[in-house]
Amino acid sequence: AQSVTQPDIHITVSEGASLELRCNYSYGATPYLFWYVQSPGQGLQLLLKYFSGDTLVQGIKGFEAEFKRSQSSFNLRKPSVHWSDAAEYFCAVGRPTGTASKLTFGTGTRLQVTL
Amino acid sequence: DTEVTQTPKHLVMGMTNKKSLKCEQHMGHRAMYWYKQKAKKPPELMFVYSYEKLSINESVPSRFSPECPNSSLLNLHLHALQPEDSALYLCASSQPGLATGEQYFGPGTRLTVT
């Protein structure tokens, strides 16, 4: 069975500082990995995805993530955080189910940005 | 247009009411999903429709009844809900097949059952 672990429940960083959010996955085959962001009371927005190829993927809003198969990790990074990045971040692993897909989410990491 | 819309934004209903949530997408996606999200938790999958047919029901109580009238619309009919059903209900859509199957989410409907 697939699973996702986000070890950090809550992270606080200063505006302008760098950020790394951790994600570890368990999946028997080639993983399909996603990072989503959710602002309070809002839906989820896709930041980036990894299917294959280059292990460093670029996303929206200046985020990037690196897939490391040997560590079963897909950590999210941003070199300089903005106050508007404060939100909940979810890592997810997907698998096909027939003609649809099924996402398994981690428990999320809440990012707080101090000015 | 990568937008999924949901109506209403907020809904308050009594335990004996019948109400419906609506979701719409115009991206040509043929897979649509309903999720339930409680506060400070990740979304939990409820239902999946693929090509307008129900393909996954995650053992959801029958007081939740999904409907997919066409490839752009997804409804969730609610009847005799319990207070513990209060949550954010999210709709998502994707192209069939995982390679392009990243899911796009709507803003959600905040449901309160009194």
Q: Is B56 touching A (CB cutoff 8 A)?
A: yes
Mutation target to probe the B interface, by most B beta carbons within 10 A, among A33, A101, A102 is A101
Output the CA–CA distances (angstroms, integers) from residue B16 to B5, B110, B113, in the order listed. 27, 18, 10
* Mean pLDDT in residue range B92-113: 85
* Mean pLDDT in residue range A84-96: 93
pLDDT tens digit sequence for B65-76: 999 999 999 999
Query: What local confidence, expressed as pLDDT, does residue A1 receive?
Result: 78
d(Cα A40, Cα A48) in Å, to the nearest integer? 20
The phi-psi region of residue B28 (left if phi > 0; otherwise alpha if psi is between -120 and 50; otherwise beta) is: left
